[in-house]
Homo-oligomer: A and B are copies of this chain.
Amino acid sequence: MFEFQITAQSGRARTATFATPHGAVQTPMFMPVGTQGTVKGISPQELTEIGSQIVLANTYHLLLRPGPELVAVHGGLPGFTAYPGPFLTDSGGFQVMSLGHMRRITEEGVTFKSHLDGSSVYLSPERSVEVQQALGADIIMAFDECPPYPAERDYIQASLERTVRWLERCLTFKSRDDQALFAIVQGGIHSDLRQQSLDATLPFSTPGFAIGGLAVGEGKAEMYAAVEYTAARLPADKPRYLMGVGHPEDLVAGIALGVDMFDCVYPTRTGRFGYALTDDGRLNMNSSAPRTSLEPIDPDCDCYACRHYTRAYLAHLLRAEEMLAPRMLSLHNLRYLHRLVERAREAIRVGRYAEWALSWAARYFKGKPKTDEMSGVPAWFARSVTDDV
Residues of chain A touching chain B, judged by Cβ–Cβ distance below 8 Å, are 36-38, 40-45, 61, 65-66, 70, 73-74, 80-82, 291-292, 294, 304, 308-310, 312-313, 316-317, 319-320, 322-324, 326-327
Contact = CB atoms under 8 A, between A and B. Distances in A.
A320 B71 CA distance: 15
13 contacts: A37-B317, A38-B322, A40-B322, A40-B324, A43-B304, A44-B308, A66-B312, A70-B316, A74-B294, A81-B313, A82-B309, A82-B313, A323-B327
B320 A36 contact: yes
B324 A66 contact: no
Contacts of A323: 40-41, 323, 326-327
Given A61-B320, A70-B292, 12 more contacts: A36-B317, A37-B313, A40-B322, A40-B324, A42-B324, A43-B304, A44-B308, A65-B319, A66-B319, A70-B316, A73-B294, A74-B310
A46 to B, nearest CB: 9
Contacts of A70: 291-292, 312, 316
Nearest to A320: B36
A10 to B, nearest CB: 38
Contacts of A310: 74, 80
Tell me the number of copies of this protein: 2
Contacts of A82: 308-309, 313
Contact of A316 (B66, B313, B326): B66
B74 A312 contact: yes
Nearest to A45: B304
Given A312-B74, A313-B74, A41 B320 contact: no
Contacts of A317: 36-38
A52 to B, nearest CB: 15
Contacts of A37: 313, 316-317, 320
Task: Find the residue from A316, A319, A327 having the highest chain B CB count within 10 A.
Answer: A316
A45 B307 CA distance: 12
A39 to B, nearest CB: 8
A43 B292 CA distance: 22
The 4 closest A-B pairs by CB, nearest first: A82-B308, A41-B323, A66-B316, A36-B320
Task: Find the residue from A43, A73, A82, A310 having the highest chain B CB count within 10 A.
Answer: A43
